[in-house]
Amino acid sequence: MTETGSVWMAEWAAVQKVKAPSMKNESVFYRNLEEELDLARQTGHSLPLHLPSHEIDFSSCDVIGLGHSGALRKEFLQELADNPNFHLGAGGSRLMDGHTRYQDKLEREIAEMFDVESALVVHSGWTANQAIFSTIPRPGDVIVYDELMHATALAGMKVSLALEQRLFRHNDVDSFIEVLEEVRDSQPQIRSGKRCVIIAVESYYSMDGDVCPLKELIDAAKEIFPLGNAQFVVDEAHSFGVIGPKGLGFVSELGLEKEIAIRMHTFGKALSGSGAVILSNNTVRWMLINHAKVLICSVAPPFTLLAAARAGLRLMQSEEAQKARDRLQYLTKLYLDTLTSNPIYKKANAKGLLRMPMHEEEDWHDQPFITHIVPIWTKSKHAHYLSFHLVSDGINGTPIVFPIVPKGEDRVRLIMHSYNTEEEVKTLVNSICSWAQEMLEIEASGDKNRLPKAAQRAFDLMKKVAAEDGVKGTKETDGVNGTNGT
């Protein structure tokens, strides 16, 4: 095991220590909170805060390396030098004293860059989605959304004024058509064009790594609602900076800018900064500024956020960034080629131990582009085992389980970066396949209590921490799930 892997595993084990039983004399206020936290600790699902110290990065969102290379830091410091009289904080909300010439200039530059009427910069993707979905749908409107829409969008929908919210099956055009037809047939105000359907999708889906069939959805919506009262909101958090002319995103890549009412781009992924921007016409912009409580009741973004965004946007449009995007595509395809050609992967895939549902057709070389998000799906509750194994090899791979993803769809989310080397890609594949080989051997042994070595080390540490405090943690033979899952 690598040194960084040992550190991470010790940090993970430490946060699994249950606490509520030792708090009988403490306030019930804190005890109740610890009891809730203990539910995760007892099953090994409590997550630690740890420094990003792994030798090989296949997890962060700095996909074109603006942060990793130091280029963003250099450009940001130059932006500070060019604006020496800046005020660090905005001093108020946009509608009070927080509106600045600098933010106004930045938003005009972004609007010109995307050839849209307006751009509105906000604190984060969460803020943007909360503002959009809590404010834009009006009484009598219906929200139709992909079932895998991000939690930030769903949170905004919960407090919207929309009459109804309807989901369609993920990326399923037939399901989408069926839902739109049901809305049309059941809502006379919408059928007559007096109310709207707000359609919410993502360009790249963050946990599956697949791509929205946006053109097909637009065509279907136009046919069902010829009066133009079906409008799209596209979340481009994971495609911005990665695809499109000068990295402008998925919608720009497809040439569908005029078909989309609202686009949301974040600065915290490929731009390696913070914040987000909402692209729309002026009507939407002023509706948000005057009615979105999350904006009205928040201090405007600080200068440092705006300056980092401006620096990142300049870098994103450079030739170096385009080379990074091209290399990102190359490395992602290299990874898929190398993994799927490995005989151990083929055997484990056939046994159902691991799989890549988005790439089962093995047609990535026929695609004009593929996403850099390449999750490995495992058997139920095995994602932690694979994660432990990767960590032991100095690779950061994040286990994603319910409720972040549906039950039975556990996975380790992996993200390619332009700065990963070919050797690192091969190391990742070797690590995955060595874990798969171990799981094949365990399954063949029929021993339901046997854990893979890295997971066994992790749970031994967890029991050691519990024993030191005299508190029972997991059962003697359990892992995350009580047995090895076979």
What is the distance between the alpha carbons of residues 11 and 462, in angstroms, rounded to a whole number?
A: 10
The answer to whether the beta carbons of residues 38 and 18 sit under 8 Å apart is yes
Q: Report the relative pairing of strands 411-413 and 376-378 from DSSP bridges.
A: antiparallel
Q: pLDDT by residue (tens digit) across 267-299?
A: 999 999 999 999 999 999 999 999 999 999 999
* Two tokens, residue 435: 């874990």
- Between CA 425 and CA 335 the distance in angstroms is 6
**Buried/exposed 243-275: b ≥16 CB within 10 Å, e otherwise:** bbebbbbbbbbbebeebbbbbbbbbbbbbbbbb
Identify the segments of the chain with pLDDT beneath 50: 473-486
Q: Could you tell me which of 228, 224, 176, 226 has the C-alpha nearest to residue 200?
A: 176
As to burial, measured by CB atoms within 10 angstroms (0-12 exposed, 13-18 middle, 19+ buried), residue 51 is exposed
User: What is the 3-class SS of 270-334, one letter each residue?
Assistant: CCCCCCEEEEECHHHHHHHHHHCHHHHCCCCCCHHHHHHHHHHHHHHCCHHHHHHHHHHHHHHHH
Beta bridge partners of 403: none
What is the Cα–Cα distance from 98 to 91, expressed in whole angstroms? 5
pLDDT at 467: 77
**Residues linked to residue 439 through DSSP beta bridges, in sequence order:** none
Neighbours of 78 (CB within 10 A): 13
Which pLDDT belongs to residue 472?
Answer: 53
Residue carrying the six token digits 């065509």: 219
Nearest CA among 114, 54, 101, 424 for reference residue 256: 114
pLDDT at residue 469, as a whole number? 66
Half-sphere exposure of 348 toward its Cβ, with a 13 Å CA cutoff? 27
Q: Which residues pair with 280 in a beta bridge?
A: 118
Query: How would you write 209-228 as a 3-class SS string?
Result: CCECCHHHHHHHHHHHCCCC
Domains belonging to the chain, first-starting first, are 3-31+46-66+322-468 (3.90.1150.10), 86-316 (3.40.640.10)
Tell me how far apart the 2 most distant CA atoms of the chain are, in Å: 70
Tell me which residue of 274, 278, 280 sits closest to 306, measured CA to CA. 274
Task: Identify the pLDDT of residue 208.
Answer: 93
| Residue with tokens 């994971």, as numbered in its chain | 238
